[in-house]
Chain A
Amino acid sequence: MSTLVHTPSARPPARHRPHLSGMAWLTWRQHRAAYRVAIVATLSAGAWMLYQGLRWRDFLRDAPPFYNERYSHEYESWYEPAQLYTGLALYILPLLLGVFLGAPLLAADRDKGTAKLVVTQSVSRVRWMATRLAVTALVVVVCTGVLSAAFTWWWQPHGLEVEWYRPERFATTGPMPVALALAMTLLGALIGFAIGRTLPAMAITLGAGVAVLYVSTRFRGLLGVRRTISGPFPDPAVRAPEHSAHIDHFFTTTSGRQVSPGQCSTNPLDSCLADRGVVHSSVKYFDLAQRDILQWTGAAFWTAVALIAGALTVWWAARRSL
Chain B
Amino acid sequence: MNDTWAIEAHGLGKRYRRGWALRDCSFRIPAGRICGLVGPNGAGKSTLLNLAARLRRPTAGSLRLFGTSISDPEAILRMAFLPQDKPLFKRFTVEETLRLGRELNPGWDQTVAERIVGAGNIPLHARVGTLSGGQRTRVAFALAFGKRPNLLVLDEPMADLDPLARHETAATLMAETADSGTTVVMSSHLLGELADMCDYLVLLCDGRIRLAGDVDELLPAHRLITGTGAHLEPHTVVESRTTGRQTTALIRPEGAIAPSWAVAEPCLEDVLLAYLRAPAAPVLMTDVARVPEPAVAA
Contacts and interface: CB of A to CB of B under 8 A. Distances in A.
Contact of A23 (B57, B73, B104, B147): B104
A121 B88 CA distance: 13
Contacts of B95: 10, 12
B83 interface: yes
A321 B55 contact: yes
Interface stretch (A122-130, A142-150, A213-221): A122-130
B170 interface: no
A121 B56 CA distance: 15
A124 B103 contact: no
Contacts of A124: 73
Interface stretch (A24-32, A64-72, A263-271, A287-295): A24-32
Contacts of B83: 113, 116-117
A112 interface: yes
B267 interface: no
A17 to B, nearest CB: 15
Nearest to A113: B87
B88 A114 contact: yes
Nearest to B88: A117
A322 B114 CA distance: 29
A120 B88 contact: no
Nearest to B113: A9
Chain A contact patch, size range: 20 to 34
Contacts of A29: 92, 96, 100
B87 A114 contact: yes
A255 interface: no
Contacts of A118: 100, 104
Nearest to B97: A117
A9 B103 contact: no
Contacts of B99: 25
Given A10-B95, A22-B104, A29-B96, A120 B80 contact: yes
Contacts of A22: 103-104
B53 interface: yes
A26 B92 CA distance: 10
A122 B88 contact: no
A122 B143 CA distance: 12
Contact of A321 (B57, B106, B111): B57
B87 A112 contact: yes
Interface string A102-146: 000000000011101111111111000000000000000000000
A21 interface: yes
Given A26-B100, A113-B85, A114-B87, A121 B55 contact: no
B284 interface: no
B104 A122 contact: yes
A7 interface: yes
A319 B57 CA distance: 8
Nearest to B77: A122
A9 B90 CA distance: 22
A119 B90 CA distance: 17
A22 B83 CA distance: 22
Contacts of A23: 103-104
A10 B55 contact: no
Contacts of A12: 95
User: Which of A12, A26, A122 has most B Cβ within 10 Å?
Assistant: A122
Given A113-B87, A116-B55, A21 B114 contact: no
A112 to B, nearest CB: 6
B104 A26 contact: yes
Contacts of A120: 53-55, 76, 79-81
A133 B1 CA distance: 34
A117 B87 contact: yes
Contacts of B103: 21-23, 25-26
Nearest to A321: B56
Contacts of A25: 99, 103
Interface in B97-135: 99-101, 103-107, 110-111, 114, 124
Contacts of A123: 104
A55 B81 CA distance: 60
Interface in A253-306: none
Interface of B: 50, 53-57, 73, 76-77, 79-81, 83, 85, 87-90, 92, 95-96, 99-101, 103-107, 110-111, 114, 124, 143, 147
14 contacts: A7-B110, A12-B95, A23-B104, A25-B103, A26-B104, A29-B92, A29-B96, A112-B87, A117-B143, A120-B54, A120-B55, A122-B147, A321-B55, A321-B56
7 smallest CB-CB distances across A and B, nearest first, come from: A113-B87, A121-B104, A120-B81, A321-B56, A122-B105, A123-B104, A117-B87
Interface of A: 7, 9-10, 12, 21-23, 25-26, 29-30, 112-114, 116-125, 319, 321-322
Given A117-B89, A122-B76, 11 more contacts: A7-B111, A10-B124, A26-B103, A116-B55, A116-B83, A121-B101, A124-B73, A125-B73, A321-B50, A321-B55, A321-B57
